Structure 1
């Protein structure tokens, strides 16, 4: 039994299936809402996965209208039950943005994540000291306690690399990430050594774009592409921009990020040569 399960993914999966069922039934959302005597916005919110709880009885009523068989109805009702569970990240809801908590919730059961970082080591691969130095510099308005709580969240995310099944990580970094003295020489030395160790895991691939590769298509922002084990679960992108975080699910936009990641992989040194770069101090 997999240990990596996410109520966030269950809710997302349920919302997608509800939209599909209504489309297959060739019904407008207003028509369905009227038949159930619901406010018109209720079904819209459910299909957009807005909110954190689905009522199992509501799912049963929708299945009756859409004419689903017993097996599918039971499956959807179980998704609703699973979606009501609490993830380990729920206690941190108030201190993290909605986009961030959604990303963490989906990452918790993703099969793989494609990561590009031009400025910092990806959170999944950071040491605690490095994470502290990054957060202290970028969140000067936070107390030491608040910073430590965010670091705890980041360290907890890293458990996914060692759970069953493990999260697969394909990370491309700009060489500047390795040369910037975040936290000082000792912190960076430990961070590079940690990168070398995790890069030897069978589920982690690290590639570095060397300085001599010149300009590349990822110089403007970092991004993460989440991929899921079930074919029906669509890929999603999380970006961290100066203006704030964004969570992207629109298919055409996600494809653009996939194309950009492939270009970045093409510009990067091979995993073997990357180990040499990590060793070069």
Structure 2
């Protein structure tokens, strides 16, 4: 996690999304779950927030931030509150697990100041969400891009970015996001990718071969499912733009959908709209090749690049 000194950046075209602990940070779902659990214990015990704050010798506003998930209290504070609320052993274990989850969040990612708010929401959401589903029309999604491929895309789209933006720093964004795919609790990723994305030579034959080879490696992980939508499938939903569905297991946490378009994007979290995109994804998945046949197609494309 970043400390306060990490806020300072010599590149004015970038900003940090900072997430601290021990009384500092930003609102996250993991902190929110802990805060709600502690608030439920307090209310069950018939204690007001003001009284709890008084016993804790802190401001009521601090208690509000703890319970809303805006701030993660240090563990000693949580332990004191558990004593105050006369929590049972099972409840203490639940609180301990919730606190560990809130404290063990992935580091924040450095994003350009010009990054659209909707994309920022996507990046922040994928730090905590267990599942993402993508439909990609023309390029490999950022979570599966090689550095050379990402650099070639940025070079090609340079006219859409501020002139002072450093490409090396922008390329680091998708690479940093890929850390979410590894570790003890990796993101589950399901990608439906149009065949056009593996046919178009982004960066030239060498770059494309490397990218396709990486797709084969990535698709071998248990947490990653890759399906190619073949040209022969004809028309399918979402052909007007790529989309990302971010899912959460908790029933009280609304999934979100990121819709991508040139130089921007939109975030949708209306339950009915999200349900429509989810249904569409399932329908497109039926039109796509199986993971095994998708890998076969990628292998054929690699051979075609090796023998033009």
Q: TM-score, normalised by structure 2?
A: 0.65
Describe the superposition over 1:214-263 as per-residue Cα deviations: whole angstroms up to 9, x where unpaired.
111120111111223x4246353342433722222221111111101001
Equivalent residue number for residue 6 of structure 2: none
Q: 2:144 aligns with which of 113, 117, 125?
A: 125
Are 2:159 and 1:158 aligned? no
- Work out the CA distance in 1 between the residues paired with 2:32 and 2:185: 25
1:159: how far off?
Answer: 2.0
Indicate conservation of the 8 Å contact 1:125/1:198, yes or no: yes
Q: 1:173 aligns with which of 193, 196, 199?
A: 193
- Work out the CA distance in 2 between the residues paired with 1:55 and 1:18: 9
Which is greater in Rg?
A: 2
- Work out the CA distance in 2 between the residues paired with 1:9 and 1:205: 31
Describe the superposition over 1:107-163 as per-residue Cα deviations: whole angstroms up to 9, x where unpaired.
123222111100110111111111111122224334586322122121121122221
Are 2:271 and 1:254 aligned? no
Q: 1:212 aligns with which of 227, 232, 235?
A: 232
Q: Relative contact order, CA 8 A, sep 6+: which one is greater?
A: 1
Q: Would the alpha carbon gap of residues 9 and 167 (structure 1) be closer, same or farther in structure 2, given more than 3 Å must change?
A: farther
Indicate conservation of the 8 Å contact 2:31/2:72, yes or no: no
Indicate conservation of the 8 Å contact 2:106/2:180, yes or no: no
- Structure 1 gap segments, 5+ residues each: 23-37, 57-67
- Work out the CA distance in 2 between the residues paired with 1:187 and 1:14: 41
Are 2:211 and 1:191 aligned? yes
The root-mean-square deviation of aligned C-alpha atoms, in Å, is 4.4
- Work out the CA distance in 2 between the residues paired with 1:101 and 1:77: 29
Describe the superposition over 1:11-46 as per-residue Cα deviations: whole angstroms up to 9, x where unpaired.
236658989999xxxxxxxxxxxxxxx9xxxx9x99
Moved more, 261-270 or 133-142: 133-142
Describe the superposition over 1:73-125 as per-residue Cα deviations: whole angstroms up to 9, x where unpaired.
998899799869985225x2553333323322221232221111001101111
Indicate conservation of the 8 Å contact 2:154/2:167, yes or no: yes
- Work out the CA distance in 2 between the residues paired with 1:9 and 1:113: 22
Q: What is the count of residue pairs matched by the alignment?
A: 267
- Work out the CA distance in 2 between the residues paired with 1:10 and 1:70: 28
Describe the superposition over 1:180-215 as per-residue Cα deviations: whole angstroms up to 9, x where unpaired.
121112111111111111111221111111111111
Indicate conservation of the 8 Å contact 2:192/2:227, yes or no: yes
Moved more, 197-206 or 114-123: 197-206
Indicate conservation of the 8 Å contact 2:66/2:72, yes or no: yes
Equivalent residue number for residue 28 of structure 2: 11
Equivalent residue number for residue 9 of structure 2: none
- Work out the CA distance in 2 between the residues paired with 1:78 and 1:210: 44
- Work out the CA distance in 2 between the residues paired with 1:97 and 1:189: 31
